[in-house]
């Protein structure tokens, strides 16, 4: 398929859900200085780095509140399922809370996601930021309410990984209506993956492991006409192969417009075997859609923030991902 053909097909397929569309895309209001925001831990246990993330949010002029159970611990989880769900629902139910920020990823969100108060989500859209394990929450916000969320750093902040550029990326994403443009970083391992072309669609996806784990649940969005964002960490090349093969066999990747690849962090390299990038190239090249790699989204250094649920364009000639703003004017 030619690049022009791909773009035409992408435009046609990405338009169809909206035309058939049960609900319009919902963008939450942009955060403003003075807004109350809540930090919750739906998954793993935050640590002392949380203080730095709260400081950064406060530097935006936001009033930061901890969830009641933010500092709980239950095994490898940030409190019992009941406590973590109570904090999450309390944040979505409080009309004064204009943004919700995940404290940390790890594991555990899928244990509580079915108890999310969807009526509260639909009644009062607000900013939600998280990534990795929080992919399931972003997915549920989309499938249940077509609400845009933000794939960005947790409040458990590490300055050596996410510095001033990344702080500004987060602020811009949730507090301005400027479009977001990411450019391929040739130093990222996923930059080696490319299928030429240009495509436009709704940006959806997130962590590959969690997307595979969401098959046959309400958390996995319908990816027809989408630009699929993928990233992962601590996975071997065969794992990328296995997960992409499973998603393909299940039909989840059948009607994509294109793929945007984030960071492949800590993927082992074994002499004489495929790298993660080579395994992903082998799997994705068979889909017949443009693929752009090397984007600083995910678990690696220099993590940038992007909205999930708005229109995006990948262009392998300019090596850019351009994403429409995820918030509306406050």
Tell me the catalytic residues.
Answer: 132, 231, 299
Helices then strands, each counted (H, E), the chain = 10, 14
SS3 268: coil
Q: What is the distance of C-alpha 254 from the center of its chain?
A: 20
Q: Name residue 151's beta-bridge partners.
A: 130, 306
The three-point CA angle 307-313-317 to 5° equals 130
Quote the CA–CA distance of 140 and 147 in Å, as a whole number. Answer: 9
Query: Which residue, 75, 251, 278, is CA-closest to 192?
Result: 278
User: Torsion angle, CA of 195/199/201/203, rounded to 10 degrees?
Assistant: 40
| DSSP type of residue 76 | T
| DSSP E strands, the chain | 36-40, 63-66, 97-102, 127-130, 149-151, 180-183, 194-195, 198-207, 226-233, 258-265, 291-292, 306-308, 311-315, 320-323
Beta carbons of 260 and 321 less than 8 angstroms apart:
yes
The CA R_g of the chain, rounded to the nearest whole Å, is: 19
């Amino acid at each position: 398929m030619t690049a022009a053909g791909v773009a035409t097909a992408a435009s046609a397929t990405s338009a169809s859900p909206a035309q058939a569309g049960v609900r319009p895309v919902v963008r939450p209001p942009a955060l403003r200085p003075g807004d109350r925001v809540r930090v919750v831990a739906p998954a793993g246990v935050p640590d002392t780095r949380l203080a730095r993330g709260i400081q950064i949010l406060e530097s935006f002029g936001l009033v930061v509140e901890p969830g009641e159970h933010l500092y709980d611990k239950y095994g490898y989880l940030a409190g019992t399922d009941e406590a973590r769900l109570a904090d999450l629902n309390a944040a979505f139910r409080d009309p004064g809370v204009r943004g919700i920020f995940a404290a940390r990823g790890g594991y555990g969100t899928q244990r509580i996601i079915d108890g999310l108060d969807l009526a509260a989500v639909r009644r009062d859209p607000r900013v939600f930021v998280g990534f990795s394990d929080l992919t399931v929450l972003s997915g549920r916000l989309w499938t249940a309410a077509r609400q845009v969320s933000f794939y960005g750093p947790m409040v458990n902040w590490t300055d050596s990984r996410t510095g001033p550029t990344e702080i500004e990326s987060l602020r811009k994403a949730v507090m301005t209506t400027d479009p977001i443009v990411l450019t391929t970083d040739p130093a990222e391992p996923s930059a080696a993956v490319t299928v030429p072309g240009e495509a436009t669609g709704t940006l959806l996806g997130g962590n590959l492991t969690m997307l595979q784990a969401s098959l046959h649940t309400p958390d996995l969005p319908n990816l027809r006409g989408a630009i699929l964002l993928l990233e992962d960490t601590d996975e071997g090349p065969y794992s990328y192969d296995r997960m992409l093969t499973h998603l393909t066999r299940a039909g989840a990747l059948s009607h994509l417009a294109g793929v945007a690849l984030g960071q492949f962090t800590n993927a082992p390299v074994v002499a004489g075997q495929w790298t993660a990038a080579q395994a992903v190239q082998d799997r994705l090249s068979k889909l017949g859609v443009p693929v752009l790699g090397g984007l600083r989204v995910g678990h690696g250094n220099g993590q940038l923030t992007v909205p999930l649920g708005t229109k995006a364009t990948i262009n392998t000639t300019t090596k850019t991902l351009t994403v429409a703003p995820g918030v509306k004017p406050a």
